A and B are shown apart, each in its own frame.
Chain A
Amino acid sequence: AQSVTQLDSQVPVFEEAPVELRCNYSSSVSVYLFWYVQYPNQGLQLLLKYLSGSTLVKGINGFEAEFNKSQTSFHLRKPSVHISDTAEYFCAVSDVGYKLSFGAGTTVTVRA
């Protein structure tokens, strides 16, 4: 069975500063990794995904993530955040069967 740990529950950051959200996973099989964003009172929106190939994955809104198999990590980064990036971010893992297991989430608050 797989599990996901998001190491930071809250990340405050100033506008135009970089941000990194940390995610570690455990699984006994090959995994597929995802980052979702949830804006207030909305459903989850896919930011990016890693299925195979290059370990550096680029997503929407300037986000990117790097898959590190040896460290079982999939950290999310953005070089310069905007006020509109204030949201909750979820890391998720899926294996055979397409089921997603989510982390507890990281709340990003961008301040001017």
Chain B
Amino acid sequence: EAGVAQSPRYKIIEKRQSVAFWCNPISGHATLYWYQQILGQGPKLLIQFQNNGVVDDSQLPKDRFSAERLKGVDSTLKIQPAKLEDSAVYLCASSPSGDSQSYEQYFGPGTRLTVT
């Protein structure tokens, strides 16, 4: 079974530029999550999708961050414009739904973003 795929793995941009990250979850997983992990901290949830609907985006800075999950499969997270404090690893995770297995999330390798 293929794991969660993310691209790119690394990205360096200047502040005020825009950037997009892509995530392909495990096949059949209905729930998809985006996390931000700042150096020295644990991951923080940005947004949670159930199929192609948003379940929770309360911690997403909506003035600059946006995310979509068209057709309930792949997802894209965008930052526009980027700030220095956005430097972090962006993790995508997915999980099945409907039973206790939903509590187990499977993580991708992450995208390391450096904003200069």
Chain A residues in contact with chain B, CB under 8 A? Answer: 4, 32, 34, 36, 41-46, 49, 51, 90, 92, 94, 97-105
Contact = CB atoms under 8 A, between A and B. Distances in A.
Nearest to A45: B107
B56 A99 contact: yes
Secondary structure of the A contact surface, majority rule = strand
A105 B41 contact: yes
Contacts of B72: none
A32 B102 CA distance: 11
Range for the number of chain B residues in contact with chain A: 20 to 34
A43 B106 CA distance: 9
B45 interface: yes
A51 B41 contact: no
Contacts of A100: 33, 43, 45, 105
Contact of A98 (B4, B31, B44): B31
12 contacts: A42-B109, A42-B110, A43-B109, A44-B93, A46-B105, A90-B42, A98-B31, A98-B102, A99-B48, A102-B43, A102-B44, A105-B41
A98 B45 contact: no
Contacts of B45: 99-101
B95 A98 contact: yes
Contact of B56 (A45, A97, A102): A97
Contact of A44 (B41, B91, B100): B91
Contact of B42 (A46, A98, A99, A105): A105
B108 interface: yes
Interface in B26-74: 31, 33, 40-45, 48, 55-56
Nearest to B95: A98
Contacts of B102: 98
